[in-house]
């Protein structure tokens, strides 16, 4: 136990740095991924064929090719064309595009899952496509897509570990450094790695769960607190 304590104390500044890099990659990647996912998802259901086909091609490309190769491409090949991005940027853009492509399928699926009759109501009220999406369809789809996006968010957090391959000093990098230290037990290094990733992922998914519950309450899907209380009171009486 004292070994563990010793190792954690010795490495805590480095682990903290690693967690920060992992958080930055996760947060930045998530923002880029969300923008990509929403844009591609909306294009996929738009009335314009060009946008639908374009979205399909982009999604298939980024889903169908390896994330590691995409990162290497950004990091090693882009500089040959004079685009020299710092590693962190490469990581955020690469992760964002890749997970955004997956996310766009969640967005598309959720938009399509909104009842067709809701679209018909917007037509009957002469709302335009963009107004219908913005005011009626999207708010309903949002609650539906959050569980799927949450799933991807957790995968993204863990997926940031590939950033090690383009030289970023993220959590995995420091865990590797710990592992190579003969004074630190193997199980300690990886145990700490497990735990820290788990905590970061847990934090992210709890935040999204909160958003999900709020969205569902707004749609009247989950019973509001007062109604539950009243129902309980009635049941007791």
Partner 1 sequence: MEDVAKRFGKNTVLDGLNFTVERGERVTLIGPSGSGKTTILRLLMTLEELSGGYIYVDGDPLTYAKRGNRRVKLPNKEVTRIRKRIGMVFQQFNLFPNMTVCENIIEAPVHVLGQSKEEARAKAVDLLDQVGLRDKIDAHPSSLSGGQQQRVAIARALAMEPEILLLDEVTSALDPELVGDVLEVLREVARETDITMLLVTHEMQFAQDVSHRVLMFDEGRVIEEAKPEVMFNNPEHERTKQFLQAIL
Among 128, 206, 228, 229, binds partner 1 (CB under 8 A): 128
6 contacts partner 1 (rule: CB under 8 A) = no
121 contacts partner 1 (rule: CB under 8 A) = yes
Name the token pair of 139.
């708010």
d(CA 221, CA 135): 18
d(CA 117, CA 37): 25
Judged by CB under 8 A, which stretch of 18-26, 35-43, 71-79, 136-144 contacts partner 1? 136-144
Judged by CB under 8 A, which stretch of 19-27, 87-95, 125-133, 201-209 contacts partner 1? 125-133
- In this structure, the number of other CB atoms found within 10 A of the CB of residue 129 comes to 15
**Residue number with CB closer to partner 1 (47 or 182):** 47
**Residue number with CB closer to partner 1 (149 or 192):** 149
In terms of Cα–Cα distance, which of 38, 210, 223, 7 is closest to 137?
A: 38
Contacts of 93 (CB under 8 A, 6+ apart): 32, 74, 85
69 contacts partner 1 (rule: CB under 8 A) = no
d(CA 23, CA 2): 28
Instruction: Report the nearest approach of partner 1 to the CB of residue 108 (Å).
Output: 19
**What residues line the site for partner 1 (CB under 8 A)?**
115, 117-118, 120-121, 123-128, 131, 135-136, 139-140, 218-221
């Amino acid at each position: 136990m004292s070994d563990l304590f010793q190792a954690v104390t010795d490495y805590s500044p480095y682990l903290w740095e690693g967690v920060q890099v992992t958080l930055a990659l996760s947060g930045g990647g998530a923002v880029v991924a969300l923008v990509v996912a929403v844009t591609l998802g909306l294009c996929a259901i738009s009335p314009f064929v060009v946008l639908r086909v374009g979205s399909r091609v982009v999604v298939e490309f980024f889903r169908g090719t390896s994330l590691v190769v995409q990162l290497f491409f950004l990091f090693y090949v882009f500089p040959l064309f004079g685009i020299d991005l710092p590693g962190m940027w490469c990581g955020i853009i690469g992760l964002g595009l890749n997970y955004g492509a997956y996310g766009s399928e969640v967005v598309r699926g959720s938009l399509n899952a909104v009842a067709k009759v809701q679209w018909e109501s917007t037509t009957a009220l002469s709302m335009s496509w963009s107004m219908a999406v913005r005011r009626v369809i999207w708010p309903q789809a949002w609650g539906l897509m959050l569980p799927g996006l949450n799933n991807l968010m957790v995968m993204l957090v863990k997926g940031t570990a590939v950033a090690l391959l383009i030289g970023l000093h993220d959590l995995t990098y420091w865990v590797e450094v710990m592992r190579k230290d003969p004074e630190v037990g193997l199980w300690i290094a990886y145990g700490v790695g497990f735990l820290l990733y788990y905590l970061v992922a847990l934090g992210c998914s709890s935040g999204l769960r909160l958003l999900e519950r709020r969205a569902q309450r707004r749609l009247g899907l989950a019973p509001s607190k007062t109604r539950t209380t009243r129902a309980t009171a009635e049941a007791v009486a």
